[in-house]
Amino acid sequence: MKVALKVNGVQRHVDMAPLARLLDALRGPLGLTGTKEGCGEGECGSCAVFLDGVPVNACLVPIGQCDGCEVVTVEGLAAAGHLAPLQACMAEHGGAQCGICTPGMLIAAEALLRRNPDPTPVEVRTAIAGNLCRCTGYERIVQSVLHAAHELRSTEKGAAE
Amino acid sequence: MHDANKPRDTRAPVVGENVTRLDGAAKVTGVARYVDDLPAMPGELHGATVRSPLPRGVLRAVMLDPSFDWSDVTVVTAKDVPDNVVQLIVDDQPVLAAERVNHRYEPVALVACADKAKLARAVAAVTLDIEPLPAVFDAEESLLGRTVIWGESNVQNRYLITKGAADADDGEAAFEAALRACDVVVRGEYSTHHQEQLYIETNGMVAWWDDDGVHATGSLQCPYYVHKAFKRCFHLEPEQIHITQAVTGGGFGGKEEYPSLIAMHAALLAKKSGRPVRMIYDRVEDFEATTKRHPSRCIVETGCDADGTLRALKMRVLMDAGAYVTLSPVVLSRGVLHAGGCYRWRDVRIEGVSVATNTPPNGAFRGFGAPQTTWAIERHLDAVARRLGIDAGELKRKNLLAEGDSTATSQVLHGSIGGAECVEKAFAASDYVAKRRRGPIVEGRKARGIGCSVFMHGGGFTGSGERMLKGKVAVDLLLGGRLEVRSASTDIGQGTETIFAQIAADAAGVSISAVSVAVPSTTRVPDSGPTVASRTVMVVGSIVERAAREIAERVEAVRRAGESFAAAGDRLLAQEGPQTALVQYEPPAWVNWDDKRYKGDAYPVYAWMVDVAEVEVDLDTFETRVLEFWSAADVGKAIHPLMCKGQLEGGSLQAIGWALSEEVVWKDGAIVNPRMTNYIIPTALDAPPFHTILVEAPYAHGPGGGAKGIGELPMDGGASAVAAAVEHAIGVAIDHLPLTPERLFAAWARSNSEAAQ
């Protein structure tokens, strides 16, 4: 099946069986290996991507449903060679250790900050509860997201003034 | 931004600073390449494993379905393996089962095919003809030796630690007499269960052969373990073997010894097919086939004075090694060496035994035997305190090892003993004493309690291990005043790369941006020893420091007044040629260990930690939530405080998961729940907020001003702190892990019916 989709702002095409996973399309023909597979059954969140703005586990999405959709992966979070504040905070505040959960974690956190720019620690924990991390104990991930939220708010405030 | 050209004295030290981790940008942008992210090589095949469906039996035949098209499928069996032994400690494990299978999921045959879908069908088209033999799944049953499944008696290893009365010629009787003479004697039994490392990246490897020999690149902790295994299996010269670490998505011990097996499997298929072979386990296969934490059962009997002064400790530690020895002797060793906890004992008799069962081999997992015995001794001291009617925290504080005291192995401690400070700080931060005194808080159907654990963990290899290992590191001077650190220590998330760069930068007096750390590949790096045993920073870091300092001294010797480090370095390179400092680790001269009597300096130094957990138990569902978790840890010196806390918190959460929710369920030697959906590790909502306090009692031989090893430390005590808090909350003492709601309810119901009688 031929599928046309926009990936990180670029129009792309793949030709795959309709039940092939979006994850395999991304990691295979589309060459975007930043999205990781941890369990293959929607439990760990390592393969989270935005599909039409909604965070989904790419291991559970058939490519046949992605025709005409817009996908944003971890590779699409950095703007023009600069780390997005969320990415920078994750690297600086201990949110990434082994890094394998980080791409999915970033997508979940980005989704949170888009709808809630000033989250509480519990709201951060709830937002990333579908993303498993075995390294950090989550404390530094939560702190990283809170730092990023703060930074984004100050930038916006600065821009508004 | 490159300030390597500045004179070297103007820079600020980076040890102790929270610099951005060097691999941070690659990891947050998705460009870091883990093994399955490596581009496919020309002609590459996918590899898969055919595994035993039975726990024990005689392998009569490996049969290929004649109706299947095998034309583009490579099949490997035991007869294709040049030397069919996994090189580790004991030569009992085959690379592929030949005549016997000894556990469920044991690898028997390998298949490779370019088409992944066909590969799965090929696996199904291989039939194993196995005549079943009686199997043993329980360590206590194995110890009885009624069915012999390993060696002559199923017993793989035994250790005995004695001290005081137990040292006498009639040690056992003399020890018993000393124990019975104590005012208060308490006996208990404590057990722990399997735990899966559950790194989020599964095991994976790519292997190929060319004119240089064999190459394997993948997810691993110890490139030289794989190197040694290849040397044995393929009978190759060392320079023909090229083992390289890809970015590794967590290990926790699970990628210590296991990667040798998957790498050999991939290389066997690559050899036979003449093509590169990629083997990536899916989650279920990884869960079923790879190593787990050893289950344990400890029988403990102690004697103390009426005032709580501990006197005599007797313990029998039994560990379930699984079907083959792998690293069990060392796990058991570390287990018994930590069995006395961090307390003063006059008389000690600790016996350790590991036995085989027909389950997949258990292996390295953070803590390496110490979490099991720490669970036993901490829960036991909680029981002693209960008997004495004093608080467990007070009992532990009172008996804490201090300067000049001797451990269970008669090691006299000198320096870097932060235990007491950790107790003070953790108790103060959590308000432990007042909360304990106040008693549990019951509101509606929720009961809240608080508990503590006190523990220490030895850094580096046990006893004479580091002396025999002779770990090495190289630091090269590069053009432009840059340094490259070459070591076999892998960064598996813990931050090795960054920490080595910090240590080298300060030792050489250059900017951290002038230091790079080589990808660990056996072709390029010396054997620094494995990335295990809380040794990377403390042991390997200390020789990184020496090597960097040596290079700087060479540059300094030729540096002219006012000249930059870079200019002097460039001139040195031009005049003298390549500059490499190769430094070998030497343990402190005073480290004295008697391997026969199991006496002496088991470890050169210990890191200390105190955990305080506050929990809430739901009295209807018996679910336990950890509400807050405080820790104080004596790390010697934090090279990178933020990453150090990250290690402590991550390890603590693994301990909490082990205590509350993680349970491998077995049926006839098979795992019932080999998935993330039913083997439950904590999520961000299950994890408590961590309040982590770093205590620094510097170790004279540690790098960066006294760093000690802390990688494993936090795994040791979290479970017992949680259990103590649960006991405080609902008055039920649980001595057997895990504290799942079902087990907690059963124990609570039992204790209520006992109380009613």
Sequence-distant (6+) residues with CB within 8 A of B278 are B36, B40, B44, B45, B46, B47, B204, B205, B206, B266
Q: Which residues in chain A are contacts of B247 at CB distance < 8 A?
A: 99
Between CA B552 and CA B490 the distance in angstroms is 24
A81 C-beta neighbours (distance < 10 Å), count: 6
**Cβ of residue A123 closer than 8 Å to a chain B Cβ:** no
Q: Scanning every residue of chain B, which has its alpha carbon at the shortest distance from the alpha carbon of A35?
A: B30
**Cβ of residue A1 closer than 8 Å to a chain B Cβ:** no
Helix segments in A28-101, DSSP class H: 85-92
Q: Do B248 and A142 make contact, defined as CB atoms within 8 angstroms?
A: no
**Cβ of residue A143 closer than 8 Å to a chain B Cβ:** no
Mean predicted confidence (pLDDT) in A19-46: 98
Between CA A65 and CA B572 the distance in angstroms is 63
Residue from B22, B200, B626 to probe the interface with A (highest A Cβ count within 10 Å): B200
Mean predicted confidence (pLDDT) in B390-410: 98
Query: ipTM of this model?
Result: 0.98
Q: Nearest C-alpha of chain B: how many angstroms from A94?
A: 6
Q: Which residues in chain A are contacts of B650 at CB distance < 8 A?
A: 97, 134-137
Are the CB atoms for B497 and B410 separated by under 8 Å? no
Q: Which of residues 91-120 of A touch B (CB under 8 A)?
A: 91-94, 96-103, 106
Q: What is the overall mean pLDDT for chain B? A: 97
**Cβ of residue B31 closer than 8 Å to a chain A Cβ:** yes
Domains for chain A: give ranges and CATH numbers.
2-76 (3.10.20.30), 85-160 (1.10.150.120)
**Cβ of residue B247 closer than 8 Å to a chain A Cβ:** yes
Sequence-distant (6+) residues with CB within 8 A of B441 are B447, B448, B449
Between CA B519 and CA B500 the distance in angstroms is 13
Q: What pLDDT does residue B10 have?
A: 52
Q: What pLDDT does residue A158 have?
A: 78
Where in chain B are the domains?
3-32+471-584, 136-399
Q: Do B21 and A102 make contact, defined as CB atoms within 8 angstroms?
A: no
Least CB-CB distance to A134: which of B200, B645, B677?
Answer: B200
The residue type of B517 is V
Q: Nearest-CA neighbor of B295 among B222, B351, B359?
A: B359
Q: Nearest C-alpha of chain B: how many angstroms from A155?
A: 21
Q: Scanning every residue of chain B, which has its alpha carbon at the shortest distance from the alpha carbon of A126?
A: B685
Exposed / middle / buried, residue B405 (Cβ in 10 Å: 0-12, 13-18, 19+): middle
**Cβ of residue A25 closer than 8 Å to a chain B Cβ:** no
Between CA B527 and CA B241 the distance in angstroms is 13
The residue type of B610 is V
Q: What pLDDT does residue B381 have?
A: 98
Mean predicted confidence (pLDDT) in A115-130: 98
Q: Do B31 and A34 make contact, defined as CB atoms within 8 angstroms?
A: yes
**How far is the first Cα of chain A from the last one, in angstroms, to the nearest whole number?**
51
Q: Nearest-CA neighbor of B396 among B373, B371, B427?
A: B427
Mean predicted confidence (pLDDT) in B115-141: 98
Q: Scanning every residue of chain B, which has its alpha carbon at the shortest distance from the alpha carbon of A95?
A: B646
What is the second-level CATH architecture of the domain B136-399? 2-Layer Sandwich (3.30)
**Cβ of residue A19 closer than 8 Å to a chain B Cβ:** no
Asked if residue B479 has pLDDT above 50, the reply is: yes
Are the CB atoms for B411 and B600 separated by under 8 Å? yes
Helix segments in B16-138, DSSP class H: 24-29, 116-124
Asked if residue B135 has pLDDT above 80, the reply is: yes
Q: For the CA atoms of B722, B725, B731, B735, what is the dihedral angle to 10 degrees? A: 30
Sequence-distant (6+) residues with CB within 8 A of B311 are B178, B182, B302, B303, B304, B305, B345, B346, B347
Query: Per residue in B225-282, pLDDT tens?
Result: 999 999 999 999 999 999 999 999 999 999 999 999 999 999 999 999 999 999 999 9
Residue from B29, B196, B202, B675 to probe the interface with A (highest A Cβ count within 10 Å): B29
Mean predicted confidence (pLDDT) in A77-84: 84
* Strand-pair category, B666-667 with B670-671: antiparallel
Between CA B644 and CA B692 the distance in angstroms is 10
Phi–psi pair at B51, nearest 5 degrees? -120, 155
**Cβ of residue A140 closer than 8 Å to a chain B Cβ:** yes
Q: What pLDDT does residue B3 have?
A: 43
Between CA B220 and CA B244 the distance in angstroms is 9
The percent of residues above 70 in pLDDT, for chain A, comes to 99
**Cβ of residue B536 closer than 8 Å to a chain A Cβ:** no
Q: What pLDDT does residue A79 have?
A: 75
Phi–psi pair at A2, nearest 5 degrees? -85, 130
For the whole model, what pTM was predicted? 0.97
The percent of residues above 90 in pLDDT, for chain B, comes to 97
Count of A-B CB contacts under 8 Å? 171
Same CATH fold, B136-399 and B3-32+471-584?
A: yes
Between CA A54 and CA B127 the distance in angstroms is 45
Between CA A111 and CA A132 the distance in angstroms is 16
Exposed / middle / buried, residue B431 (Cβ in 10 Å: 0-12, 13-18, 19+): middle
Q: Which residues pair with B625 in a beta bridge?
A: B616
Least CB-CB distance to B646: which of A40, A90, A97?
Answer: A97
Query: Per residue in B549-587, pLDDT tens?
Result: 999 999 999 999 999 999 999 999 999 999 999 999 999
Asked if residue B752 has pLDDT above 50, the reply is: yes
**Cβ of residue B249 closer than 8 Å to a chain A Cβ:** yes
**Cβ of residue B27 closer than 8 Å to a chain A Cβ:** yes
Asked if residue B2 has pLDDT above 90, the reply is: no
**Cβ of residue B419 closer than 8 Å to a chain A Cβ:** no
Q: Which residues in chain A are contacts of B22 at CB distance < 8 A?
A: none
Are the CB atoms for B224 and B252 separated by under 8 Å? no
Q: Do A36 and B650 make contact, defined as CB atoms within 8 angstroms?
A: no
Are the CB atoms for B356 and B148 separated by under 8 Å? no
Q: What pLDDT does residue B6 have?
A: 44
Q: Do B33 and A77 make contact, defined as CB atoms within 8 angstroms?
A: no
CATH fold of B3-32+471-584 reads Aldehyde Oxidoreductase; domain 4 (3.30.365)
SS3 B67: coil
**Cβ of residue B36 closer than 8 Å to a chain A Cβ:** yes
Asked if residue B4 has pLDDT above 60, the reply is: no
Q: Which of residues 85-104 of B touch A (CB under 8 A)?
A: none
- Position B9 confidence tier, pLDDT thresholds 50, 70, 90: very low
Q: Which helix (H) or strand (E) holds B81?
A: none
Q: Nearest C-alpha of chain A: how many angstroms from B692?
A: 10
